[in-house]
Structure 1
Amino acid sequence: MSTTTRRSTGAKHSGARRRTPAPPTGGRGPGRDHQLELLRQMLLIRRFEERCVEFYSSAKIRGFVHLYIGEEAVAVGVGQALRGDDAVVSTYREHGHALARGVPAGAVMAEMFGKATGCSHGRGGSMHLFDAGRRFYGGNAIVAGGLPLAAGLALADRMRGTERVTCCFFGDGAYAEGEFHETANLAALWQLPLLLVCENNLYAMGTSLAREHAQTNLAMRAASYGMPAWTVDGMDVLAVEATARKAADSVRAGGGPHFLEARTYRFRAHSMYDPDRYREKDEIARWKARDPLAGLEERMRAEGGLDDLASKRLEEDVSAEIDASVRAAEAAPYEPVSDLLRFVTSPSGGAP
Structure 2
Amino acid sequence: MTVTRAAEASVHPRIDSEDTHVNDLQLLRAMVRVRCVEEVLADVYRDEQEMRTPVHFSIGQEATAVGVCAALRTEDIVYSGHRCHAHYLAKGGDLRAMVAELYGRESGCAAGRGGSVHLVDEAAGFGASSAILGEMIAVATGTAWAFARERAPRVAVTFFGDGASEEGVFHESLNFAALRRLPVLYVCENNQYSLTSPLPARQPAGTGIGERAGGYGIPVSRVDGNDVTAVRSAAAAAVEHCRAGRGPRFLELDTYRWREHVGPNWDHEHGGRSRAEVRSWMRRCPIARATAALRGGEPSVEKLVTAWEEEFRAEARTAVAHAKSAAWPKVGDLLAGTYGDMK
Provide the TM-score with structure 2 as the length reference.
0.89
Secondary structure of 2:157 counterpart: strand
* Aligned pairs (5 A) from 1:92-111: 92-111=82-101
Q: CA deviation at 1:93?
A: 0.4
Note the alpha carbon deviations across 1:19-51, whole angstroms, 9 max, x for none.
Answer: xxxxxxxxxxx9996222211211111111111
Q: Is the 8 A contact 1:82 1:248 kept in 2?
A: yes
Q: Percent of aligned positions with the same letter in both sequences?
A: 39
Query: Which residue in 2 is equivalent to 1:318?
Result: 312
Paired residue for 1:302, among 281, 296, 304?
Answer: 296
Q: Which residue type is aligned with residue 317 of structure 1?
A: E
Secondary structure at the counterpart of residue 137 of structure 1: strand
Check if 1:43 corresponds to 2:29: no
Checking the alignment, whether the CA contact within 8 Å between 2:36 and 2:309 is kept in structure 1 is: no
The answer to whether the 8 A contact 2:59-2:258 is kept is yes
* Greater CA drift, 310-319 or 186-195: 310-319
Cα distance in 2 for partners of 1:164, 1:115 equals 32
Question: What's the counterpart of residue 252 of structure 1?
Answer: 243
Whether the 8 Å CA contact 1:127–1:141 is kept in 2: the answer is: yes
Matched, 1:224 2:215: yes
Note the aligned Cα RMSD (angstroms): 1.8
Structure 2 distance, partners of 1:307, 1:266, is 25
Map 1:1-352 → 2, pairs under 5 A: 34-57=23-46, 58-214=48-204, 215-272=206-263, 275-276=267-268, 277-304=271-298, 306-346=300-340, 351=342
Take 2:120 and 2:234, find their aligned partners in 1: how far apart are those partners? 26
Deviations 1:5-26 (A, max 9, x none): xxxxxxxxxxxxxxxxxxxxxx
Determine if contact 2:162/2:188 at 8 Å carries over to the other structure.
yes
Displacement after TM superposition at 1:183 (Å): 0.5
2: distance between equivalents of 1:216 and 1:210?
10
- Give 5+ residue unaligned stretches, structure 1: 1-29
CA deviation after TM superposition for structure 1 residue 279, in Å: 1.2
SS of structure 1 residue aligned to 2:154: coil
Q: Measure the CA separation in 1 of the matches of 2:302 and 2:58.
A: 26
The 8 Å contact of residues 300 and 306 in structure 1, kept in 2 or not, is answered as no
Check conservation: 1:52, 1:61, Cα contact below 8 A. no
Aligned residue identity for 1:128: H
Alpha carbons of structure 1 residues 59 and 85: separation in structure 2 relative to 1, 3 Å: same
Decide whether the 8 Å contact of 2:29 with 2:305 is kept in 1: no
Shift of 1:115: 1.0
Summarize deviations over 1:283-329 as a string: whole Å, max 9, x none: 11110000001111111113235344323322232123212212211
Q: What amino acid is the match of 1:223? A: G
Structure-1 residue corresponding to 2:10: none
Deviations 1:187-212 (A, max 9, x none): 00110101000000000111111111
> How many residue pairs align between the two structures?
320
State the TM-score, normalizing by the size of structure 1.
0.87
Q: Secondary structure at the match of 2:312?
A: helix
Q: Which runs of 4+ in 1 moved over 4 A?
A: 30-33, 273-276
Q: Aligned equivalents of 2:283 and 2:328: distance in 1?
A: 41
Per the alignment, in what secondary structure is the counterpart of residue 157 of structure 1?
helix
The structure-2 alpha-carbon separation of the partners of 1:305 and 1:219, relative to structure 1 and needing over 3 Å to count, comes to farther
User: In 1, distance between residues paired with 2:302 and 2:220?
Assistant: 40
Structure 2 CA distance for aligned equivalents of residues 230 and 339 of structure 1: 46
Residues 248-276 of structure 1: CA deviation (Å, up to 9, x unaligned): 00110011000000000001111118845
CA contact (8 A) 2:92 2:124 kept: yes
Q: Distance in 2 between matches of 1:31 and 1:306?
A: 23
